[in-house]
């Protein structure tokens, strides 16, 4: 899956790795195509594994405050390469007034999502005019990992209330970004 992701990025000339050497990159960014024709559709992702926080920024087609959009985002965070799948899941609505939660998990499946994280801080900020959602998770909230990688998906609801086919993963379904070293 990572091969597919990289190939797609190179073909779109969209891959950016910002660091002295790719093996030690702390910032990753990639563009994503129009997939669902819903406002929640992700068009770009950037991830920073910084000194204090892990920041995941997504640019969407059109984020609106109206709850009818049903726009939502899920960020899976892999912090341990020896334990298959993500260790954390950040779940958020992207319309006004919704909540967000960072939970421990033992994989992608909703049935494996566990308790809310109690240590550390995390916050979501949505900028509707710029169609940008930014998730900032403190290192403590993620168990002080060195390397991280993420898999991100968004979803929405049509005006008739249906949502089938409106799930948009960045890259392939359940595909992660490359591992990012701590900045």
| Footprint on this chain of Ca ion (rule: CB under 5 A) | 32, 35, 41-42, 78, 80, 83, 168
- Tell me whether residue 20 or residue 84 sits nearer to Ca ion (CB atom): 84
Q: Minimum Å distance from CB 101 to Ca ion?
A: 19
- Tell me whether residue 88 or residue 100 sits nearer to Ca ion (CB atom): 88
- Tell me whether residue 26 or residue 168 sits nearer to Ca ion (CB atom): 168
- Tell me whether residue 33 or residue 123 sits nearer to Ca ion (CB atom): 33
In SS3 terms, 101-165 reads as EEEEECCCCHHHEEEECCCCCEEEEEECCCCEEEEEEECHHHCCCCCEEEEEEEECCCCCCCCCC
Q: Minimum Å distance from CB 80 to Ca ion?
A: 4
- Tell me whether residue 80 or residue 147 sits nearer to Ca ion (CB atom): 80
Distance of alpha carbon 62 from alpha carbon 42, whole angstroms: 9
The beta strands (E) that lie in 25-131 are given as 27-31, 42-49, 53-60, 72-78, 88-93, 100-105, 113-116, 122-127
Burial of 78 from C-beta contacts in 10 A (0-12 / 13-18 / 19+): buried
Q: Minimum Å distance from CB 38 to Ca ion?
A: 10
Q: Minimum Å distance from CB 26 to Ca ion?
A: 19
Q: Minimum Å distance from CB 20 to Ca ion?
A: 26
């Amino acid at each position: 899956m990572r091969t597919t992701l990289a190939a797609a990025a190179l073909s779109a000339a969209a891959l950016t790795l910002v660091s002295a050497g790719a093996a030690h990159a702390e910032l990753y960014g990639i563009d994503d195509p129009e997939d669902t024709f819903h406002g929640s559709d992700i068009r770009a992702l950037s991830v920073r594994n910084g000194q204090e926080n892990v920041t995941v920024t997504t640019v969407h087609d059109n984020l609106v405050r109206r709850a009818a959009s049903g726009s939502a985002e899920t960020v899976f965070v892999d912090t341990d390469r020896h334990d298959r799948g993500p260790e954390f899941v950040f779940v958020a609505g992207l319309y006004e007034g919704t909540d967000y939660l960072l939970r421990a998990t033992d994989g992608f499946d909703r049935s494996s999502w566990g308790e809310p994280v109690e240590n550390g801080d995390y916050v979501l900020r949505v900028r509707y005019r710029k169609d940008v959602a930014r998730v900032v998770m403190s290192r403590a909230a993620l168990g002080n990992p060195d390397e991280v990688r993420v898999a991100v998906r968004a979803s929405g609801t049509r005006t008739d209330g249906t949502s089938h086919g409106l799930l948009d993963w960045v890259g392939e379904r359940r595909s992660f970004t490359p591992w990012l070293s701590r900045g």
